[in-house]
Amino acid sequence: MTVFASTDYNAHEIVSHFHDPASGLRAIVAVHSTVLGPAFGGCRMYPYADDEAALADALRLSRAMTYKAALAGVPFGGGKAVIIGDPARDKSDALLTAMARFIDSFGGRYQTADDVGTTVGDMAVMRRITPYARGLADAAGEPCPATAWGTYHGLRAVARHRFGRRDLAGLSVAIQGLGSVGWRLAGYLAADGVRLVVSDIRPEAVARAVRAFGATAVTPDRILFEDVDILSPNALGAVFDDRTIPQLRARAIAGAANNQLARPEHGRMLAARGITYAPDYVVNAGGLIDVAHEGPGYDPQTVLHCCAGIAETVAAVLRRADRDGAAPADIADRMAEECLAAGADADKPLVSPGFRPYDIGALA
């Protein structure tokens, strides 16, 4: 199958494959758009079933990054890098160095950071070769909690829209995935008095959440179908499809996992079932906002303040979806495309960190 024949191809500017036999690296970089700035997207390492699955992930995630950046108001376009391999077994400094050379070859047109299967430590290795590996660690060696903080505020906006709640106390939330984002999100929600149901493929992570937050543990095959107020997917994508959507019992969905909808029509299926869906690339924009602030004068507290603004964007998407009688996923795409069209007509970039090139209320 060629790139152009892929159902996930969407007028991408660049799709490039790279193989380094010495390190075993096999990777794909997809640049979807540079209309609003250099393409940015995380570097994901995953044991894909085949090359077509890796290509589909790169194409879908890079497009989502374009839309994410447009609605977040940051000076980036959308891109994505995927490395085909098991990070636990195949990752090495030699592989990361080869990947850094590949990224550097784009001359800044594509920039990356840590993602599923890579870490801020990996980015530090890659920065020995290229300045286009972003993502800073805090004093403890951990990334800024921007994605989790933004997801928390996006979830609060969903609760206010769906349930008329200014607080979360007493609501029930099912968290799928207790990685860095899911774990921090669980802590924020527990502090608000939320009743948590949790699942992860790592039993030790689940046991820790039960001890720390009084969460109820369920198996990974059950978590999507729990009878809760809000379902929060924070693992891998494509969890909502023809099979899972009819079985959902949550009233709303807000999570940080990328590409939660298997296909665009599944957003409409959720709307038809009366399930309020906060589009994933709106909710999980915190990491992108964090990277946009990197540089002299970087202040994590300023980043978190900007991430709290994700609530405003989520609320605007949901209001317009109600007004237009459309699925929130379609509305978010429409709003992002309006921002991209404005950027394409401009003589200079419309966006800069912490500044929106549009009135989010007007778009709603």
* Residues with a known catalytic role: 80
Using the structure block, give the residue that is written with the tokens 């693992």: 235
Query: What letter would DSSP give residue 353?
Result: T
| Residue 159: C-alpha distances to residues 59, 134, 232, 311, 331 (Å) | 32, 33, 12, 10, 19
> What is the rounded distance in angstroms from the CA atom of residue 309 to the CA atom of residue 290?
13
Contact 175/210 with Cβ under 8 angstroms? no
| Residue 112: C-alpha distances to residues 9, 109, 201, 321 (Å) | 20, 10, 27, 32
Specify the pairing of strand 172-176 against strand 110-111.
unpaired
Contact 284/278 with Cβ under 8 angstroms? no
First to last CA, the chain: 39
Beta-bridge mates of residue 80: 30
Residues in Cβ contact with 133 at an 8 Å cutoff, skipping those fewer than 6 apart: 43, 100, 103, 111, 112, 113, 123, 126, 127
CB count within 10 Å of CB 122 equals 24
Contact 287/123 with Cβ under 8 angstroms? no
Contact 250/158 with Cβ under 8 angstroms? no
Both tokens of residue 106?
């784009």
